[in-house]
């Protein structure tokens, strides 16, 4: 039962799943939305630039029929006429193509946005498989496409019927209008009918666009096991994460232990806590805590300190305060400056005494000035 449940795709697709699908070219697309925009754009472009295009074509026809015999026989003159005719129709045609291309771009990217995928364009054997093609022919998508085709037929049919019945008298009146005004009137009627029929596809788009979004989301849905596997692959399994954390901890401990020989003093509990401090008198600033540890780590710090001749001072209260309030490779808190200063002064004077340059220092006070808030 658990295995069957894990195979059910009941979970919404994750961001990574959707991003991977987008890279493969799997995005929600509505062909009818793009078709509607192209048709509407074509109708609008012809309405805007139709007069200019007709006028340009009229000039072209007049130029062609007014050529003299000498111009027809002259090759250079003919090329000049071709260039002139092309320049006459170039501007209106360019505007028409630009409007249609813009409409097509907007219509095809409105749902799903812009996506460029080489993988989607690459040939796939599954597309050539007869079995896969047979499944597509009788699958849910095929029935949906059949329903849309029937819906488009009825929508366009009834829209055309309503337009013809409403404009029937104007169409009949074209036969009694004077030439060439009746031609202009006929073209105007055709363009408005073309625009109305193109806009009737909005009904199809209202059905198709939400369906394509729903179908795309359904295809990308994941099972609970897939979500878990993806989370493991992206975040790492708990075992790997634990191993990485242990490795990082061991490396940090090694770096910390490497700083103990360079420290000036190790302050101990003396059984449970050990902290190593370093102070650079030339650069000034605050003393830094370069290593700290508890129990076995504390013993290890003391062992390294003894091996390298670093002084060890027993001050339980100060050792606990530094352990809990200071971090490795950071300055000690200002509140502990006074207590640490006394320890460092004692150590520096003791080192000078060992070199024969100073008297033996006065024993370090047992009760160092530690604020109550810093006592542990």
Question: How confident is the model over 329-347, as pLDDT tens digits?
Answer: 888 888 888 888 888 888 8
Calculate mean pLDDT across residues 299-328: 87
What is the pLDDT, as a whole number, of residue 60?
A: 87
* Confidence at 137, pLDDT banded by 50, 70, 90: low
Q: What CA–CA distance (Å, rounded) separates 342 from 334?
A: 14
| Backbone torsions φ then ψ of 242, nearest 5 degrees | -65, -40
- Percent of the chain whose pLDDT exceeds 70: 88
Give the per-residue pLDDT at 106.
92
User: CA distances (Å), 186 to each of 61, 95, 173, 194, 307, in order?
Assistant: 21, 23, 10, 12, 106
Q: 347 CB contacts (<8 Å, ≥6 apart)?
A: 264, 265, 311, 313
- Torsions phi, psi for 27 (to 5 deg): -135, 160
Give residue-wise pLDDT tens across range 257-272: 888 888 888 888 877 8
Of 336, 343, 331, 329, nearest in space to 374 by CA: 336
pLDDT score of 128: 60
Of residues 141 and 184, more confidently modeled: 184
The model's pLDDT over 36-55, given as tens digits with 9 standing for 90+, comes to: 999 999 999 999 988 888 88
DSSP state of 365: P
Domains of the chain, earliest start first = 15-113+127-222 (no CATH), 259-374 (3.40.1690.10)
Q: How far is CA 73 from CA 61, 70, 77, 78, in A?
A: 19, 5, 8, 8
Task: For residues 245-257, give the mean pLDDT.
Answer: 77
Q: What is the rounded average pLDDT for all residues in the chain?
A: 82
**Which of 41, 39, 17, 38 lies closest to 27 in space, CA to CA?**
17
What is the model's pLDDT at position 1?
41
Going from the C-alpha of 268 to that of each of 29, 154, 204, 291, 343, the distances in angstroms are 70, 91, 81, 12, 12
pLDDT of residue 101: 95
Express each pLDDT in 165-221 by its tens digit. Answer: 998 888 888 888 787 778 888 888 899 999 999 999 999 899 888 888 888 888 888
CB 322 within 8 A of CB 289: yes
For residues 48 and 100, give the distance between their C-alpha atoms in angstroms, rounded to a whole number: 12
223 pLDDT higher than 70: yes
Single pTM value for the model: 0.53
- 35 contacts 201 by C-beta, under 8 angstroms: yes
pLDDT given for residue 124 in this prediction: 60
Provide the pLDDT for residue 110. 87
Please give the pLDDT value at position 4: 43
Spell out the residues 6+ positions from residue 67 whose beta carbon is closer than 8 angstroms to its own: 81
Q: What is the pLDDT of residues 314-333, one digit of tens each?
A: 888 888 888 888 888 888 88
Res. 81: pLDDT tops 90: no
């Amino acid at each position: 039962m658990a295995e069957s449940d894990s195979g059910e795709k009941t979970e919404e697709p994750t961001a990574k799943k959707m991003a991977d699908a987008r890279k493969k070219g799997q995005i929600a697309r509505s062909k009818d939305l793009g078709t509607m925009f192209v048709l509407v754009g074509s109708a609008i472009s012809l309405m805007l630039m139709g007069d200019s295009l007709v006028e340009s074509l009229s000039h072209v026809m007049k130029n062609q029929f007014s050529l003299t015999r000498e111009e027809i026989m002259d090759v250079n003159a003919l090329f000049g006429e071709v260039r002139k005719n092309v320049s006459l129709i170039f501007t209106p045609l360019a505007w028409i193509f630009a409007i249609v291309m813009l409409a097509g771009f907007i219509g095809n990217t409105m749902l799903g946005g812009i996506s460029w995928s080489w993988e989607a364009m690459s040939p796939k054997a599954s597309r050539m498989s007869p079995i896969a093609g047979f499944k597509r022919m009788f699958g849910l998508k095929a029935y949906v496409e059949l329903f849309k085709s029937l819906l488009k037929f009825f929508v366009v049919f009834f829209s055309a019927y309503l337009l013809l019945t409403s404009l029937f008298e104007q169409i009949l009146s074209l036969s009694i209008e004077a030439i060439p005004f009746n031609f202009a009137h006929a073209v105007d009627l055709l363009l408005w009918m073309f625009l109305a029929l193109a806009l009737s596809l909005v009904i199809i788009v209202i059905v198709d666009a939400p369906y394509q979004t729903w179908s795309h989301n359904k295809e990308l849905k994941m099972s609970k096991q897939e979500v878990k596997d993806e989370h493991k692959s992206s975040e790492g399994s708990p075992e790997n994460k634990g191993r990485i954390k242990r490795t990082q901890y061991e490396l940090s401990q090694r770096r910390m232990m490497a700083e103990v020989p360079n420290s000036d003093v190790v302050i101990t509990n003396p059984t449970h806590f050990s902290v190593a401090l370093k102070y650079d008198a030339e650069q000034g600033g605050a003393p830094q805590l370069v290593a700290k540890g508890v129990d076995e780590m504390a013993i290890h710090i003391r062992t390294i300190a003894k091996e390298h001749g670093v002084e060890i001072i027993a001050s339980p209260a100060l050792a606990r305060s530094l352990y809990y309030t200071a971090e490795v490779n950071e300055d000690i808190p200002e509140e502990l400056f006074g207590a640490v200063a006394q320890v460092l002064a004692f150590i520096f004077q003791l080192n000078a005494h060992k070199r024969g340059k100073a008297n033996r220092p006065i024993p370090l006070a047992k009760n160092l000035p530690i604020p109550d808030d810093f006592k542990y």
